[in-house]
Amino acid sequence: MKRPFFYDITLRDGNQSLKKPWQLSEKEIIFNKLLELNVQAVEVGFPASSEMDYDACKHLASVAPENLVVSALARCIEGDILSAVNAIGHSKIPRVHTFLTLSPFHMKYVLNKDPMEVRKTAINAVSFACEQIKKVNKNGEVQFSVEHFGDCLENLDFVIDTLQEVVKAGATTINLPNTVERKRPRVFLDMVEKVYNALPKDIAISAHNHNDLGMATATTVESYFSGAVQLECALNGLGERTGNTNFYEVAVALYNSGVDVPVDLSKIYETALIVAQMSKVEIYEKAPLVGPDALAHRSGIHQDGALKTKDMEFGAYRPIHPSLIGRKDDEKIGFTSQSGKTAIFEIISKAGYPITIQEAIRLAPSVKEAAEKVGELPTRNIIDIYFREICNIEGPFKLLKFDHAGDGKFILEFKHNNKEYSLTGNGNGPIDACMDALKQSGFERTLLHYKQIAMDEELMGSGAMAMSVIHLEGENGAKVIGRAIHKNTAVANVKAIFNAYNLIYKN
Ligand code: KIV
Ligand code: ZN
């Protein structure tokens, strides 16, 4: 199979649909992005449409690299064709793209002409375009488009006969637009296949699909497998009404199908953002590949699968690894009432706070309850719950006072339910002394492990802070973790012990 040939129409079909069509300098920015993407052809505009567009086409043709096909649109009218030739004829490989409808409906109600008369106009225009472009550039080419090809099912034989004549007149690319997407892709693909089989094999067949029913990507991708080597696409799917076929989706779908795609896919994401900004057509939340939500997972099952396969090229819930299209943001885990412990663990860890999966399980009911009211919870709210329920555990034990009394002694005052205790603990530092005082009060526990974690100043916002982490032996030998944060490390240690005690003695 031949490699696909990407013919970009952002600067013509995309541009003509903008509320404020681009001027030269804006077109040049997009043009340069197209070169970075390594497209094979760019339709730079419709020179006869305005002086501004003529000038833009002329300029882009003059700066185009040698291997790029530079195309310009022209109706089957001599004036349009001459305008296109003058605007792009000096590029290395100029292509005049002329078009005419052959659909019965359009010939009757829009052109108001007899089909044979329309056929003649098309043939004459192609022949004129060939003659004119070859006069100025021996590499010049002509492309002919059957506007509304998708509506030509009932007169397909007439269309094919016309195209055979058009090819004889000199067209080397035949473009088949689904100018308005009305039918299912299979019907269109059968028509593409028929044209492909009827024309000489050195003629390039091209697909140009609009997205009125949202199937343009599918139709374009499948057109390639039905014989269309040239694929006409637009950046961000810009184009009349609901747009043209989205460039990125076609390129990635073909790549995923094992096709050798001659495009630099890693430039996609950055290009999409620039095009959105310049066209003032926002990328919608759910847009495939480049939309803000394209990497978002909100259900617990999806979050679990996504996180387990996060660094793999093939992900459980995504079509590609985001780096393929130059997207640097990770898969996004958004916590809603549909989410679970894995999401809590991921969100808290990513925010820079230590947490175990057991702690995430413990937090889940409160975080879910908050999400039921709010919807997707901002990270800050989840962290607040973490502080409240992990670093400040309510329970039967309440620390009232902890003071150094000199000579390895510490005074500990606390409440257990309603009973108050005041004891002096001995030990090698505050942790030992606190554990000793608790032992004297009849609440003996074994200290398994202790550590301090330096907390990022940026996270805590109030100078240097450390988190004390205390592991105690709970019921049946289970490890229980108590955490606490305080400016004073001795207080942080004792608070962490009390948090662990409240977990052990919670009932
Ligand atoms: O959609 C269409 O039919 C077109 C033609 C001008 C090619 O854009
Ligand atoms: Zn179009």
Give pLDDT tens digits for 138-184: 999 999 999 999 999 999 999 999 999 999 999 999 999 999 999 99
Do the strands 419-426 and 409-416 form a parallel or antiparallel pair, or are they unpaired? antiparallel
Q: Verify whether ligand 1 is closer than 6 Å to residue 97 (CB atom).
A: no
Closest residue to atom 5 of ligand 1, CA basis = 147
Give the C-alpha separation, 441 to 240, whole Å.
79
- pTM of the complete model: 0.88
Distance 183 CA to ligand 2 centre (A): 16
Cα–Cα distance measured from residue 164 to residue 112, given in angstroms and rounded to the nearest whole number: 24
Q: What percent of the chain has pLDDT above 90?
A: 93
| Position 99 pLDDT exceeds 90 | yes
- In sequence order, what are the residues at sequence separation of 6 or more whose Cβ sits closer than 8 angstroms to the Cβ of residue 275? 10, 30, 33, 235, 236, 238
Atom of ligand 1 nearest to the CA of 240: 1
448 Cα: distance to centroid of ligand 1 (angstroms): 74
| Ligand 1 site-directed mutation target among 17, 46, 99, most atoms within 8 Å of CB | 99
Identify the pLDDT of residue 352.
Answer: 87
> Dihedral sign, CA of 482, 488, 489, 491?
negative
**What is the rounded CA–CA span in Å between residue 507 and residue 396?**
8
What's the pLDDT at 268?
A: 98
Given ligand 1 and candidates 8, 13, 166, 175, which is best to mutate, with the most ligand atoms within 8 Å of its CB?
13
pLDDT one-digit tens code per residue, 384-420: 999 999 999 999 999 999 999 988 899 999 999 999 9
User: What per-residue confidence (pLDDT) applies to 202?
Assistant: 97
80 Cβ closer than 6 Å to some ligand 1 atom: no
71 lines ligand 1 (CB under 6 A): no
87 C-alpha to ligand 1 centroid (Å): 20
Q: Which position has the token pair 């305005």?
A: 50
The two three-digit tokens of residue 439, written as one number: 């032992």
Atom of ligand 1 nearest to the CA of 73: 6
CB atoms within 10 A of CB 189: 19
**pLDDT in the model for residue 451:** 94
Q: Please give the number of the atom of ligand 1 that sits closest to the Cα of 175.
A: 7
- pLDDT tier at 454, thresholds 50, 70, 90: confident
Look at ligand 1, atom 8, and give the residue with the nearest C-alpha.
13
Helix spans in 280-409 (H): 300-308, 341-350, 357-374, 379-390
pLDDT in tens, 20-41: 999 999 999 999 999 999 999 9
Over range 347-352, report the average pLDDT. 92
